[in-house]
Structure 1
Amino acid sequence: MPTSQLRVVQWATGNIGTHALRAVLDHPALDLAGVYVHSPAKAGRDAGELCGRDPAGVTTTGDVEEILALGADCVLYMPLTCDADVVCRLLAAGTNIVTTRGEFHHPASMKPSLRQRVEAACAEGGTSIHSTGSSPGFITEAVPLVLTSIQRRLERLRIDEYADLSRRDSPAMLFDVMGFGRSPSTFDERRLTHARTSFGPSLRLVAEALSLPLDSVEASGELATARRTVEIAAGTVEEGTVAGQRISALGMRDGSPLLTFRATWYCTTDLEPAWDVRDTGWRVTVDGDAPLDIDIRFPVPLERMASVSPGYTANRAVNAVPMVCAAEPGIRSTVDLPQVVAAMA
């Protein structure tokens, strides 16, 4: 890995991006070179002040050309939507990318036209791009690869994710985006099957790394309603409206699920039908010749979860910057990179 300071740009300063910005400012091996912001209200401000820190001497900008002119080693790319033109311009200009966007976890799962464009840009700039985060990323790739390293026979690996959203004070996200509080009859069914595109690439990546390629990735979903009206931090969830969502991605091999990811998100535990829900965190079970049953809990009060949880996604991306900058050009997956090790001091 590089031993000199790496010049990094933070691209976007939403919840995840703001946390990443603080992490870059604190990182002993990274120097903040620039910050790209989408909102005009954020442009022209000092990066440190924007994220609640002392002045950093770096002024934010909404001008892509200014970012390109910096010639940074890496961009932490964290927008709400992926702009392929911008991604390719950065890569072709010689700037590596670590992103929490999900498009680049598994090259073979990408749209062929996008993959071709990105690989060409990487070749031109001698750069690499890597998608990571907490989920997908850490829990769907890094953890399964470690746990299967003590297996010689794998029958099934299952990841369960749980998120208690009752104290999440984000009405727009919970009600408008996720659809909580709606009648089940009006719920957008596409949300229940997006697990195939969101988590399927990670399952395929792990299966191929284990020399057990999947035949297909199937997706399913189900809803639960509130048994009675409940007040949550984001507002009111009426009796009979959506209060629980469960999505699953099943990596199928020889007619059975070899790898499974299932997310259960809920606003109350008083659900119809009754679900077995756990505190926010993950449970990973491995059936093989070295069986495992592992709980990973987030020991954070629900009132603080919204401020703490972005770190689970942002920190891994920041920690991966040196490995990505040292990687061979191309779209680099978790399997391609060395283990991400955090430089704490």
Structure 2
Amino acid sequence: MSAPASPVTPARHRVVLWGTGVVGSMVAAELVDHPVFELVGVGVSNPDKVGRDVADVCGLPGGSTGILCTDDVDALIALAPDALVHYGPTAAKADDNIRLISAFLRAGIDVCSTAMTPWVWPGMKQNPAPWIDPITAACEEGGASCFTTGIDPGFANDLFPLTLMGLCGRVDSVRASELLDYTDYEGDYEDEMGIGRPPEFTALLEIPDLLIMAWGATVPMMAAAAGIELDDITTTWEKWVTPTDRPSAKGVVKAGEVAAIRFTINGIYQGREVISLEHVNRIGLDAAPEWPAGSQDDVYRVDIEGSPSISQETSFRFTDGSGRAPAVAGCLATGMRALNAVPSVRDLPAGWVTALDLPLIPGVGTIR
């Protein structure tokens, strides 16, 4: 019997990180001593961060990395990184994202991003041509690839349900749910979801076309993966008004204001709902007690009715004593999905990349 092969030292990938908000800062901390990825540059859009060491901006241990944050895109491209990991703003700033990402792609630099969630499935008909065509052209010009992930839409609503669907002989329906307490969450939700607003306020995502475009891309993706074409995509939206004041990380949600929302995005096939995404987001675990909740607090859940029927819950937690909320742990998982995809994205042909194009990504270098 021959001796077992020696472990292969993984190739190093030089990356530029753009965006030092909640997600980008946590990913930067993971990059400091990562054996597979070398952080070579950091881009920011906030002028107050320009010229400061990334350790200072992101609160990294050690005091200094020697890498200064910059808003100079050309200077970052000149570093000739293997990839850009992009944790920029949402599609609300689509023009800025497209301009930045296109520049890297045209230079032949692959991009893995969490920002433009409609790009999770570029073929979704709700994607406007000005959001798609410039990236298609930039990929062709530079021979580079562009992959977008995210926690919703993203791996919780594509990788998880699609993997479980592959265990079935028949799927009558599949539902992927986010069931989170937002009490300690500091992300944007007032105008987007209407939490902390009067019930008569119309949140941006309450508008069906905006909701489908912003967070519904995985619905047609799952349909395509299953070999069907949906007849329609519909939405539902519910609000729960709190009878008492509720404290949160962003202030007090007052009595009479919306303290929980529940919405669904539903893929219709042959007259029935076959694919559904569901969000239940609360300020306080006791809010909207009649709405779905997990067997644990703060979970992502997949329910499949079929042969066999399957239920799965996934929770994200920090166990380092930092006290950071589960929603923040989910944000880190979001960022790491994009980073860990870099080696596989680099191996793919130029153009758009979706979750359906990627192999299993086990996270090379994570055990060390």
Normalising by structure 2, what TM-score? 0.86
Aligned position for 1:44: 51
Three-state SS of the structure 2 residue aligned to 1:198 is helix
Give the one of 259, 274, 280 matched to 1:264: 280
1:62 aligns with 2:71: yes
Identify unmatched segments of 5+ residues in structure 2.
Answer: 1-8
**Structure 1 residues 161-220: Cα deviation after superposition (integer angstroms, max 9, x where no partner):** 11101233x3x7354554322210124364363431133211111211111222221122
Q: Distance in 1 between matches of 2:292 and 2:157?
A: 21
Three-state SS of the structure 2 residue aligned to 1:8 is strand
Residues 289-308 of structure 1 mapped to structure 2, 5 A cutoff: 289-299=307-317, 303-305=323-325, 307-308=328-329
1:335 aligns with 2:356: yes
| CA 1:275–1:114: 2 relative to 1, 3 Å | closer
Aligned position for 2:244: 228
Residues 203-282 of structure 1 mapped to structure 2, 5 A cutoff: 203-271=219-287, 274-278=290-294, 279-282=297-300
| CA 1:271–1:329: 2 relative to 1, 3 Å | same
Residues 1-345 of structure 1 mapped to structure 2, 5 A cutoff: 3-51=10-58, 52-54=60-62, 55-80=64-89, 81-82=93-94, 83-101=97-115, 102-109=117-124, 110-168=127-185, 170=186, 173-175=188-190, 178-188=193-203, 190-191=205-206, 193=208, 194-271=210-287, 274-278=290-294, 279-299=297-317, 303-305=323-325, 307-343=328-364, 344=366, 345=368
Three-state SS of the structure 2 residue aligned to 1:145 is helix
| CA 1:234–1:50: 2 relative to 1, 3 Å | closer
Three-state SS of the structure 2 residue aligned to 1:212 is coil
Three-state SS of the structure 1 residue aligned to 2:355 is coil
Which of structures 1 and 2 has the larger relative contact order (alpha carbons within 8 angstroms, sep 6+)? 1
**Structure 1 residues 67-88: Cα deviation after superposition (integer angstroms, max 9, x where no partner):** 1211211101111133212221
Query: Quick one: percent identity of the two aligned structures?
Result: 27
Three-state SS of the structure 1 residue aligned to 2:159 is helix
Whether the 8 Å contact between 2:118 and 2:215 is mirrored in structure 1 is no
Aligned position for 2:6: none
Q: CA deviation at 1:31?
A: 1.0
Whether the 8 Å contact between 2:316 and 2:329 is mirrored in structure 1 is no
Q: Distance in 1 between matches of 2:238 and 2:163?
A: 30
Whether the 8 Å contact between 1:227 and 1:271 is mirrored in structure 2 is no
**Residues paired across the two proteins, number:** 342
Whether the 8 Å contact between 1:47 and 1:58 is mirrored in structure 2 is yes
Aligned position for 2:5: none
Normalising by structure 1, what TM-score? 0.91
- The CA RMSD measured in Å over matched residues stands at 2.3
Stretch deviating more after TM superposition (9-18 or 43-52): 43-52
Q: CA deviation at 1:38?
A: 1.2
Whether the 8 Å contact between 1:226 and 1:268 is mirrored in structure 2 is no
| CA 1:190–1:137: 2 relative to 1, 3 Å | closer
Whether the 8 Å contact between 2:23 and 2:331 is mirrored in structure 1 is yes
| CA 1:137–1:242: 2 relative to 1, 3 Å | same
Q: Distance in 1 between matches of 2:292 and 2:219?
A: 24
Amino acid at match of 1:292: I
Identify unmatched segments of 5+ residues in structure 1.
Answer: none
